[in-house]
Structure 1
């Protein structure tokens, strides 16, 4: 299969931009809610303002993560693929039941999914057990990892 990594990279960047826009709005709404006079409780049992401030903080943390991911992906240059898996490799991985999955190995945005040519591509970071296990492997290699106490076996079908 022909994989145009530059098109996939653009899909990832566009998805991150869309996520960033939604998160910016969510942070603004949560901040406004947390500071609105109607949310400031008159007793210690009225905690809507406090809960909204926690939400605003969480949304703000997520916003920073998406901004960091966007910067990382925008800095990538699509180079010729190598046979060894490294950051920004696109990997076709097949599990022991024959199910295939496409993964983009990245430093940021783990779990993000984009659709390309009728398939779903999932971003996996090197902070995950699967991402760590992929580094340095090549097409045809097998790998076995433990995820949440379950042993998983994979074969690397292709590297782009």
Structure 2
């Protein structure tokens, strides 16, 4: 799989998310400041609620901009078995039922599922529990994480 293509797909998805967040923030701001939404009494809170929504959408847009900056600067390198799995690794895991999943470890803000060469690839951060558990592991190693009351175990099948 091509890591640069995955990175480009993440950036395209983030750009679409940013556009949507900015449009939502503008719409909420227009609603908050529209003359018909001026509060007539203390129970008339439509304008106030729209202002809160506009603020939240603006914060979301800023978080997406920061994620995009991180992903633009991101340079996924080749796998080095001496260091084990690191940021930028493309990993294939198998669970106890031999079900495989592909993961791409990237910077924060890119948690999403992509399709590359007809394969689903889950993009995760190294701050995610599974991403953190994978750091330093090599092909053939086992990885175990606790999700609520259940423990999940995986085997690292291959790493690029």
Q: What is the TM-score normalised by the length of structure 2?
A: 0.90
55-64 or 73-82: which moved more?
A: 73-82
Question: Which residue does 2:49 correspond to in 1?
Answer: 51
> Is the contact between residue 113 and residue 120 of structure 1 (CA under 8 Å) also seen in structure 2?
yes
Question: Which residue does 1:101 correspond to in 2?
Answer: 101
> Is the contact between residue 91 and residue 102 of structure 1 (CA under 8 Å) also seen in structure 2?
yes
Question: Which residue does 1:39 correspond to in 2?
Answer: 37
| 1:146 and 2:146 matched | yes
> Is the contact between residue 91 and residue 156 of structure 1 (CA under 8 Å) also seen in structure 2?
yes
Unaligned residue ranges in structure 1 (runs of 5+): none
Unaligned residue ranges in structure 2 (runs of 5+): none
1:103 Cα shift?
1.4
| 1:74 and 2:72 matched | yes
Total equivalences in the alignment: 158
Question: Which residue does 2:118 correspond to in 1?
Answer: 118
Between the aligned partners of 1:107 and 1:123, the Cα distance in structure 2 is 9
Between the aligned partners of 1:143 and 1:11, the Cα distance in structure 2 is 27
